[in-house]
Amino acid sequence: MLRPQDSPTRERKRLDGVWLFRFDHADEGLAGRWYAGALRDARAMAVPASYNDIFTDLAAREFVGAAWYQVEAFVPRGWTGHRIVLHFESVTHHATVFAGETEIARHSGGYLPFEADITEHARPGERVRITVRVDNTLTWQTIPPGVVSTSRSGERTQRYFHDFFNYAGIHRSAWLAARPPVAVDDVSVVTGFDGATGLVDYAVAIAGGTVEVRARLSDADGMVVAEASGPNGRLEVANAVAWRIGHGYLYDLAIRLVDGERLLDEYHLNVGIRTVAIDGARLLLNGEPVYLRGFGMHEDHVTLGKAHNDAMWLRDIECLKWIGANSFRTSHYPYSEDVLDLADREGLLVIDETPAVGMNTALAAGTAVDSRSATFSPETINDETQAIHGQVIRDLIARDKNHPSVVAWSIANEPESHTEAAEAYFRPLLEIARSADRQRRPVGIVNVMLAPYGMCRVTPLCDLVMINRYWGWYVQTGNLPSAMAAARRELSGWAREGKPIIITEYGADTEPGMHRLPADPWSEEYQVEYLDAMHAVFDEFEEIVGEHVWNFADFATRSGITRVGGNKKGLFTRERQPKMSAHNIRRRWLSPPGKPGRG
């Protein structure tokens, strides 16, 4: 599925704004056909936004179940003769969509796009009523998983095993889009080099007929640098400018479907020419070893919740540049494609993660919560979940495969991984990821502290080692010398695997403004000393090719005894202002190459 865009043959209309909204407390909307007319007793709701933090009452913020959204939109007059598509970038977690009185789409999975052809239900120049039932329920068969329990009085509570607030709503833009009847359905590129010549292998899928395909690559100044024809082909660019860290040079690939001289469709794609490979314990970009400096992040903001917002993300990117980061992980779900577009442009490397977080009943927010249920069993995460997970991996790679910024896939964060059941669950999923990606980027899971070196049965199956470790925080709390010793011990083990190691999380909760001498957990001083201690150990290992501090910024979580107004491990506050440690890390990350942090 290609993202809607404007081109000489295509047009799109953003449906963002204020929609009608209503909670469905008794889950009666479907039977009561709430979509059949104007949504009654509705209030206003922003799209995109999480609905949760718009409200001031707890019951609304923590609501579990279905909520309804509705908007009336005009289909542009000029769209006669086109296929009309309704496209949602993200509805969290389940969507049932109606055009007028007809159900046109059902989709589960809160962070990836879906669309439906509504040509039969939408006339150019006329209004179409769009109604969406949004359900935020997580079960053992959703990614991420969760469990809903109902009290004697009928009150439903959602439990989940991940450490961020279960925001819900229409989180990214919704579009009406017009496509020609014969259209580009998909484009994939694989890039490489032959000496100074850049190679762009492309493959085009067409919907609605078999026609001639022409491909044209232009440089950033708009000069045509290569042309080819046919649905599969190779574009050769003499003296190509490589896409690299900090220099996100992008070519424009125009795919044109033609019938003689008549243009049937035109689709544009940004292409960065670069290679990603693993060589022993090194991660190579364009054949050169790279060291990742950056963060696990979140799409998380005051009031907006998990909604995408351009201004907020531009600020995040500016903060990343200021601090000297060159990369981030889309912990713990695929981010808006707009974010990947920004990363492409800035030359930031991205570890792209599925929403498979919290597949571990022994862990949540660093504390044991539910050792009663097995993580993997016919009653919990089972074959059905695995099939859905496989589809999510395919959908993620289908959406993000062409972004030059994406250098690795993480198919799960901190799942249970020390058991035979976990190995049986993940082995086929790793293969799905590998075969879905024509660029064959490295694939892995992010390993949890409960499955350390020697115990994890899944990481050895991965292309690289990605580990989250909290020595000095959840264990050896406040005792940095023993945290360093523990780190050294375990890392020496992983180093023997002969694969690149990325520390995908390490961090300490820090209340901004809290100072303690000597340093004490939660103080700004402790975050500084903790990070210095970890870096001293990391720098001893050549096999470590990346350090991603947890987290870029403070973020919202469900309330609980280990969280004070959310997770405070950010180097920036939730308002994106630096804590003391941000200045410290900045000195490390901006130090010249060859120095600690390896420039």
Size of the site for ligand BDP (CB under 6 A): 11
User: By C-beta, is 140 or 555 nearer to ligand BDP?
Assistant: 555
Q: Map the footprint of ligand BDP across residues 159-198, applying CB under 6 A.
A: 163
11 in catalytic set: no
Least Å distance between CB 296 and ligand BDP? 7
x/- letters, 493..512, toward ligand BDP (CB under 6 A): ------------x-------
User: By C-beta, is 172 or 298 nearer to ligand BDP?
Assistant: 298
* Among the listed residues 273, 276, 316, 323, the one whose alpha carbon sits nearest the alpha carbon of residue 297: 316
User: By C-beta, is 182 or 456 nearer to ligand BDP?
Assistant: 456
x/- letters, 108..147, toward ligand BDP (CB under 6 A): ----------------------------------------
What are the C-alpha distances in Å from 487 to residues 75, 151, 475? 59, 44, 11
Least Å distance between CB 144 and ligand BDP? 11
Q: Strand, coil or helix: what is 512?
A: coil
Residue 298 as a binder of ligand BDP (CB under 6 A): the answer is: no
Give the rounded distance of the alpha carbon of 595 from its chain centre: 31
Gyration radius of the chain's alpha carbons:
24
Catalytic residue among 266, 414, 524, 543: 414
Q: For tokens 């407390």, what's the residue?
A: 25
- C-beta of residue 287 within 8 angstroms of C-beta of residue 278: no
DSSP letter, residue 60: H
Residue 128's DSSP bridge partners are 73
Least Å distance between CB 365 and ligand BDP? 5
The residue of the chain with the least Cβ separation from ligand BDP equals 163
- C-beta of residue 445 within 8 angstroms of C-beta of residue 423: no
* Among the listed residues 54, 171, 49, the one whose alpha carbon sits nearest the alpha carbon of residue 109: 171
Q: Map the footprint of ligand BDP across residues 461-480, applying CB under 6 A.
A: 468
What are the C-alpha distances in Å from 123 to residues 79, 98, 103, 132, 278? 8, 15, 17, 20, 52
Q: Report the alpha-carbon distance of residue 146 to residue 162 in Å, rounded.
A: 9
Own/partner contacts of 510-516, CB < 8 Å, gap of 24 or more, are: 510/568, 510/569, 510/570, 510/579, 510/581, 511/564, 511/568, 512/568, 512/573, 512/577, 512/579
Least Å distance between CB 383 and ligand BDP? 25
120 in catalytic set: no
Please give the span between the terminal C-alpha atoms of the chain, in angstroms, as a whole number.
38
Least Å distance between CB 475 and ligand BDP? 12
38 phi and psi angles, rounded to 5 deg: -65, 140
User: By C-beta, is 332 or 399 nearer to ligand BDP?
Assistant: 332
User: By C-beta, is 274 or 329 nearer to ligand BDP?
Assistant: 329
User: By C-beta, is 198 or 296 nearer to ligand BDP?
Assistant: 296
- C-beta of residue 304 within 8 angstroms of C-beta of residue 556: no
Least Å distance between CB 573 and ligand BDP? 15
DSSP letter, residue 4: P
Least Å distance between CB 547 and ligand BDP? 15
User: By C-beta, is 34 or 470 nearer to ligand BDP?
Assistant: 470
Q: Report the alpha-carbon distance of residue 242 to residue 329 in Å, rounded.
A: 22
User: By C-beta, is 84 or 462 nearer to ligand BDP?
Assistant: 462
User: By C-beta, is 169 or 566 nearer to ligand BDP?
Assistant: 566
Q: Report the alpha-carbon distance of residue 91 to residue 216 in Å, rounded.
A: 35
- C-beta of residue 83 within 8 angstroms of C-beta of residue 119: yes
Q: Map the footprint of ligand BDP across residues 409-448, applying CB under 6 A.
A: 413-414
Q: Map the footprint of ligand BDP across residues 530-559, applying CB under 6 A.
A: 550
295 phi and psi angles, rounded to 5 deg: -145, 155
x/- letters, 364..403, toward ligand BDP (CB under 6 A): -xx-------------------------------------
Least Å distance between CB 343 and ligand BDP? 21
Spell out where 52-167 has E strands.
66-74, 83-88, 91-92, 94-99, 102-108, 114-117, 127-135, 146-150, 156-160
In the list 567, 579, 585, 589, the residue contacting ligand BDP (rule: CB under 6 A) is: 567
Q: For tokens 């097995």, what's the residue?
A: 374
DSSP letter, residue 437: -
Catalytic residue among 89, 299, 490, 505: 505
User: By C-beta, is 327 or 439 nearer to ligand BDP?
Assistant: 327
Least Å distance between CB 190 and ligand BDP? 31
Q: Report the alpha-carbon distance of residue 459 to residue 452 in Å, rounded.
A: 10
Query: What are the residues binding ligand BDP (CB under 6 A)?
Result: 163, 332, 365-366, 413-414, 468, 505, 550, 567, 569
Kindly list the catalytic residues.
414, 505
